[in-house]
Structure 1
C-alpha cells in the first residue's frame, strides 16, 4: 500500500481511492494553495481523538462542585418533572431542560437564541446539560418549545427558585464566574403570581 502524509488537491483528485485507503492506516493532510486545508482520517482515529467533555472542565469549577446539590434537588422533585414530560411530550428530558434554564440564569444569557448558540460551542454548557462532543444540539424550535413548557408550569419555576436559593445564593459572592440574572428569575415567577394568589 502506498503511504501518504500530505497531498495537494491535484494529487487528491487523481488518486482519491488510494489516498483514502492509506488514511485508514495514517492520517493524511490535504494542502490547498500550498497551505494545510483538511485532514483525512479513519473513523477509529477520529473517535479516539474525541475526549469526554468532562476532561476539559476544571474539577475545581464552582459549577462542578455544586452540581451534586443541584441534581439532588431535581431528584427530590422527579415526580413533578416526569409529570410535565408525560403531559407535554417533551423531546428534551425535563431534568436536562432545567439545567439549561439554570445556565441561562447563572450566566445572564440574554436570549434563547444566544443560549442555543452557547450550547453548540461552550464546553462547560455542554458538560452541564450532558452533551458529548460529537452530539448534536436539539433544534432551536425543540429547545424553545420545551423550555416554554417548563416556564409555563409554576411548580417548575418554583423549583428553579428553590435551587437558586438553596444552592447558589449563600455563595455567590465567592463565585465571581456567575452573574446571576435575578430580574429574569423574577419575570418567570411573576407569570405565576396570579395563580399562586388564587390557590391561596
Structure 2
C-alpha cells in the first residue's frame, strides 16, 4: 500500500541525537578518544575562565567543533554553525541535545586569544599522542621529517614596499596594483594584510606565493604525526624546525634515526643530528655544485633504505590536512593563529588514523 506523508508532526520525541548515529559509526571511536584527551585538559580549562560571571560555551565543544570542521571539510566557522542547527551527527559529537541552541560563529574568534594564551591546541595535540603511545601505536626510535607550504590569508596585491607612502586606493574593494617588471623580495617588501607571511615557492619554475612553512615529525611505525611547528617560510625553516622538534623526540634508550628528503642534506643539519645521537637517514643530493653530507657509513646499513621508503608516507599526512582538513590555505592572519589551526587539524588526522588502527 502506498504510504502518505503525515500532515501533523509528533509533539514529543523520546529519541536523542545519539540514537540516530549507527552503533558501528567510526566517529564513535574518535569521540571516545577525543573526550579522553579533553578530560586530561580539564585543569587547564579551569584556569582559563573566571569563577564568576555568565557561563561560557564549554571549551570542549569549541575544540571538538574544530575537529568536525576538519573531518567533514567544512570551509568556515559560519557554515559550521549553520549546519549545527540541523545536523544530528554534529550535535551528538558535541554532546548537545535536540533543544540546545547552536552557538554563534563569533564565539570562535572571541575564545581564540584565550586558547592561544594557555597553549590549549598544542596541549590537546600532545594529549592525543599520549593515548597513541599508551596503546603502543608509535615508535620511539624511528622518525621522518618534512615540510610543506601553507598559503597565507593574503594576496600578492598586499605585498608592498616597506618604505612605501600610503596613498588612498582607487578602489577600496579591489585596488589596481601593477608590479610587472618590479623586483620584489622579503627584504624590501611585506604584506599589509599579514606582515608575518613571506614570499616563497616550492621549487625552481614554481610560482611564488605568500605562505608559511608547516613542518612535522612522523613516527615510522604507523605514520602518526608526533609533532609539528609553523615557521616563517625563509628557506631555513624546515631544517631549523626539524632540529627543534627532534631535540624533544629522540629516544634516550636507543639510537634514533630520522628520514628526510635531499633538502635536509646539509652539513649543519647532519652535524646537529649526530650531536643529538640521531642517525640522519637523509636522501643524498644530486646537485653537482656541492657534495653530499651523507657518507657510506650511513647509507650502507639496510635501515637506511627502509627509512627512505617509509619517510615518503609523511606526504600522506600533508595530503589529508590540505584536502580533507581544508588546510591548504590558512583562514587566519599571523603565525600563532595559523599554528593553532595546524595543531587542531593535525590532531584530527591522528584521531582518524588511530581509530582505524584500534579497530584493526
Band the TM-score falls in, shorter-chain normalisation: 0.5 to 0.7
* Superposition map of 1:118-137 within 5 A: 118-137=83-102
Residue 60 of structure 1 corresponds to which residue in structure 2? 24
1:82-103, Cα deviation, whole Å (9 max, x unpaired): 2123389762011121111211
Evaluate the alpha carbon distance shift between residue 156 and residue 90 of structure 1 in structure 2; reply closer, same or farther with a 3 A threshold. farther
Residue 325 of structure 2 corresponds to which residue in structure 1? 180
Residue 80 of structure 2 corresponds to which residue in structure 1? 115
Contact 1:107–1:179 (CA under 8 A) maintained in structure 2: yes
Alignment of 1:191 onto 2:336 = yes
Distance 2:108 2:76 in 1: 10
* Superposition map of 1:3-42 within 5 A: 39=8
More strand by share: 2
Distance 1:150 1:106 in 2: 24
Distance 2:128 2:326 in 1: 11
Contact 1:119–1:137 (CA under 8 A) maintained in structure 2: yes
**Which of 63, 73, 76 is residue 98 of structure 1 equivalent to?**
63
Query: How many residues end up aligned between the 2 structures?
Result: 151
* Superposition map of 1:140-159 within 5 A: 140-141=105-106, 143-153=107-117, 155-159=119-123
In the TM superposition, what is the alpha-carbon distance from 1:74 to its structure 2 partner? 1.0
Residue 253 of structure 2 corresponds to which residue in structure 1? none
Residue 78 of structure 1 corresponds to which residue in structure 2? 42
Distance 2:128 2:330 in 1: 9
Distance 1:90 1:122 in 2: 25
Residue 161 of structure 1 corresponds to which residue in structure 2? 125
Distance 1:155 1:180 in 2: 21
Distance 1:93 1:108 in 2: 23
1:104-152, Cα deviation, whole Å (9 max, x unpaired): 22222111111101211111111011111222212344x3345434543
> Which is bigger in relative contact order (C-alpha 8 A, separation at least 6)?
2
In the TM superposition, what is the alpha-carbon distance from 1:57 to its structure 2 partner? 0.5
More helix by share: 1
Secondary structure of the corresponding residue to residue 55 of structure 1: helix
Secondary structure of the corresponding residue to residue 95 of structure 1: helix
Contact 2:84–2:90 (CA under 8 A) maintained in structure 1: yes
Secondary structure of the corresponding residue to residue 191 of structure 1: helix
**What stretches of structure 2 of length at least 5 have no aligned partner?**
133-222, 226-315, 340-360
Residue 256 of structure 2 corresponds to which residue in structure 1? none
Distance 2:329 2:81 in 1: 17
Q: TM-score, normalised by structure 2?
A: 0.34
Contact 1:52–1:133 (CA under 8 A) maintained in structure 2: yes
1:33-55, Cα deviation, whole Å (9 max, x unpaired): xxx8953x7xxx622x2411100
Distance 1:186 1:158 in 2: 18
In the TM superposition, what is the alpha-carbon distance from 1:61 to its structure 2 partner? 1.5
Q: TM-score, normalised by structure 1?
A: 0.57
Contact 2:44–2:118 (CA under 8 A) maintained in structure 1: no
